[in-house]
Structure 1
Amino acid sequence: MNIIGRLTADAKASILKDERSVVNFSIAVNDSYKNKQGEWINLTEYVDCSFWQSPKVIPVLTQGTLVELTGWATARAWTTQSGEPKARINFHTSQFKILKRGEKKVVENVTQEDNHSGSNPENDDLPF
């Protein structure tokens, strides 16, 4: 089974009691359809995912990255202590393909002095 979606946050690795590691992340899967009235309905489903093969994938599984996952899904249902029914789908990922990398937001702190340091940007020797 394959699904395509965007990571909702950076992936995180966990070490289990038996010393196995698992990488957990969540993706948003978008779908749309026309209803009987001819209006477009947009849906977003969130799927919890796990990858058991190696934590080395964490640097590429970042928020916003569009991925195609291959694997299988399991569902679990439970009742909270307050009696509310809950359900989750977990996608056990065996392979993935990066379709488009997420854009990292880089925040720079620039002071007033840094902006007016006397250098002329037109004369800077750029490495590209």
Structure 2
Amino acid sequence: MEIIGRLTADATIATVTGNKQVVNFSIAVNDYYRPKGSTETKKLTTYISCAYWISTKVADLLKKGTLVQVDGRIGINAYSVAGEPRAKITLHVNKIKIYPVKSSPAAAPVVAGATAPADDLPF
């Protein structure tokens, strides 16, 4: 699954069992729609929790407000709070593309994670 959104806060690094480290961050995706029979446009924001296990070096680049494109698989975490069942969807990211800020239009995006070899392109 591929998603484009803005970081809602600076990325954090957590250490889990076996001294493995994971970069955790959350992105916001905005969607706009017009309800049937209305002339007013509504805005819907979806927040997606992300986990990146490949390298912690990318955490320095993942700052609040940064526009990113992430690619990965969906995971579901089930838990309970005060006996009430809850669930959280997390995107387990295997590729991150960080888009440059508008002040430097000639800059190319930074890509972290696996990329296809140049000779494996479909065109």
- Gaps of at least 5 residues in structure 2 are 103-123
How far apart in 1 are the matches of 2:46 and 2:87?
Answer: 13
| 1:64 and 2:94 matched | no
| 1:22 and 2:22 matched | yes
SS at match of 2:60: helix
Residue correspondences, number: 102
How far apart in 1 are the matches of 2:61 and 2:101?
Answer: 8
> Which residue number corresponds to residue 43 of structure 2?
42
| 1:32 and 2:32 matched | yes
Deviation (angstroms), 1:30: 0.8
What is the TM-score when the length of structure 2 is the normalising length?
A: 0.75
- When the two chains are superposed, the root-mean-square deviation of aligned CA atoms in Å is 2.0
> Which residue number corresponds to residue 119 of structure 1?
none
- Percent identity at matched positions? 44
What is the TM-score when the length of structure 1 is the normalising length?
A: 0.72
Alignment of 1:1-128 (within 5 A): 1-38=1-38, 39-83=40-84, 85-101=85-101
How far apart in 1 are the matches of 2:49 and 2:95?
Answer: 15
Deviation (angstroms), 1:17: 2.1
Structure number with larger C-alpha Rg: 1
How far apart in 1 are the matches of 2:14 and 2:47?
Answer: 20
Q: Which moved more, 1:9-18 or 1:49-58?
A: 9-18
How far apart in 2 are the matches of 1:13 and 1:32?
Answer: 32
How far apart in 2 are the matches of 1:60 and 1:101?
Answer: 12
